[in-house]
C-alpha cells in the first residue's frame, strides 16, 4: 500500500492512479494522479488538470486496497423540481461539457450565489455563476436562463484557466476582478475582495454536500 504523501515537502513528486486528495477543510477529492512542484500542486482528473496552492491539501491516500470507500461530492436533488434539472445538476452538466472538475465549478457557484439561480448582485451580476451582462453577451448566453448561465460560467472559467496556464488562483482572480486587472498586476490584484474570494473558493474546493 502506498503511503500518504505529506505536502510540506519542497521536492516535486508524482502521484499514482486512483487516489484521494484529502484537503485541509476535511473534504476529499478523487483524482487520477497528482504532481507537486514546490508550493503548487497539479491534479489530473476528468481528462484535464488543475493547479492550486499545495498548502490546501493535507495528504494523499490510495483509493484502492484501503478497505473503504470515500463518498464523492454529488449533486443533491432540489425538492419540487423533478421535471427540470436542479442548480447542482446544471453545474455538473456544464462542468463535464467543458472538461472541468465538477467540484471546482460548484465551489465557484457556491461562493458567487450559494447556488441561487435568481441571485442578482448590486453590480448587476446575474444567476448562480453571477455573470455580468457584458460577459454573458460575449459568451452568447442569456444569464437569466439557469442552464445557459451555468454553461457560460463553466466555459468562462475554462477560458481563464487556459489563459493563465491552469493556475486556479489566477483564473479565480480574473473571474472576480477581470482579466485586465490580473494582467495589469501580473498576478492576483491587491484588492481585499478579490484575494478573499480566491481563498474562499479554494478552501471550500470541493464543497461538501448540502
CATH code assigned at 117: 1.10.530.10
Q: Is 34 left (phi over 0), alpha (psi -120 to 50) or beta?
A: beta
Alpha-carbon span 183 to 99, nearest angstrom = 25
- What is the DSSP code (8-state) at residue 54? G
CATH at 43 = 2.30.30
Q: Quick one: pLDDT at residue 19?
A: 80
Assess if residue 79 is contained within a domain.
no
Q: Quick one: pLDDT at residue 83?
A: 52
Residues 103 and 196 placed together within one structural domain of the fold: yes
Q: Quick one: pLDDT at residue 27?
A: 66
**Domain hosting residue 173, numbered range:** 87-203
Cβ atoms < 10 Å from Cβ of 27: 20
Cβ atoms < 10 Å from Cβ of 89: 18
Q: Quick one: pLDDT at residue 17?
A: 46
Q: Residues with Cβ < 8 Å from 130, sequence gap 6 or more?
A: 112, 113, 119, 121, 153
Assess if residue 78 is contained within a domain.
no
Q: Quick one: pLDDT at residue 210?
A: 43
Assess if residue 189 is contained within a domain.
yes
Residues 53 and 95 placed together within one structural domain of the fold: no
Q: Are 143 and 152 in contact (CB under 8 A)?
A: yes
Task: Report the number of distinct structural domains present in the chain.
Answer: 2
Assess if residue 77 is contained within a domain.
no
Assess if residue 67 is contained within a domain.
no
Q: Quick one: pLDDT at residue 44?
A: 81
Assess if residue 37 is contained within a domain.
yes
Residues 48 and 94 placed together within one structural domain of the fold: no
Catalytically active residues, by annotation: 112
Q: pLDDT in tens for each of the 210 residues of the chain? A: 322 222 222 223 333 346 877 777 666 777 888 888 878 888 887 667 778 787 778 888 776 544 433 333 333 343 443 456 789 899 999 999 998 988 899 999 999 999 999 999 999 999 999 999 999 999 999 999 999 999 999 999 999 999 999 899 999 999 999 999 999 999 999 999 999 999 999 887 754 444
Amino acid at each position: 500500500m502506498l503511503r500518504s504523501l505529506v505536502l510540506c515537502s519542497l521536492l516535486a513528486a508524482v502521484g499514482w492512479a486512483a487516489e484521494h486528495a484529502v484537503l485541509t477543510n476535511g473534504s476529499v477529492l478523487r483524482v487520477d494522479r497528482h504532481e507537486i512542484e514546490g508550493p503548487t500542486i497539479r491534479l489530473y482528473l476528468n481528462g484535464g488538470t488543475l493547479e492550486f496552492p499545495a498548502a490546501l491539501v493535507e495528504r494523499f491516500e490510495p483509493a484502492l486496497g484501503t478497505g473503504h470507500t470515500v463518498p464523492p461530492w454529488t449533486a443533491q436533488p432540489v425538492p419540487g423540481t423533478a421535471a427540470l434539472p436542479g442548480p447542482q445538476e446544471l453545474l455538473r452538466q456544464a462542468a463535464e461539457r467543458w472538461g472541468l472538475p465538477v467540484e471546482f465549478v460548484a465551489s465557484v457557484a457556491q461562493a458567487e450565489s450559494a447556488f441561487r439561480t435568481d441571485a442578482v448582485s448590486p453590480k448587476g451580476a446575474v444567476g448562480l455563476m453571477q455573470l455580468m451582462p457584458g460577459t454573458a453577451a460575449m459568451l452568447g448566453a442569456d444569464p437569466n436562463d439557469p442552464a445557459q448561465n451555468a454553461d457560460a460560467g463553466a466555459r468562462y472559467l475554462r477560458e481563464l484557466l487556459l489563459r493563465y496556464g491552469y493556475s486556479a488562483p489566477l483564473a479565480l482572480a480574473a473571474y472576480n476582478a477581470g482579466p485586465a486587472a490580473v494582467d495589469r498586476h501580473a498576478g492576483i490584484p491587491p484588492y481585499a475582495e478579490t484575494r478573499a474570494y480566491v481563498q474562499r473558493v479554494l478552501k471550500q474546493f470541493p464543497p461538501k454536500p448540502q
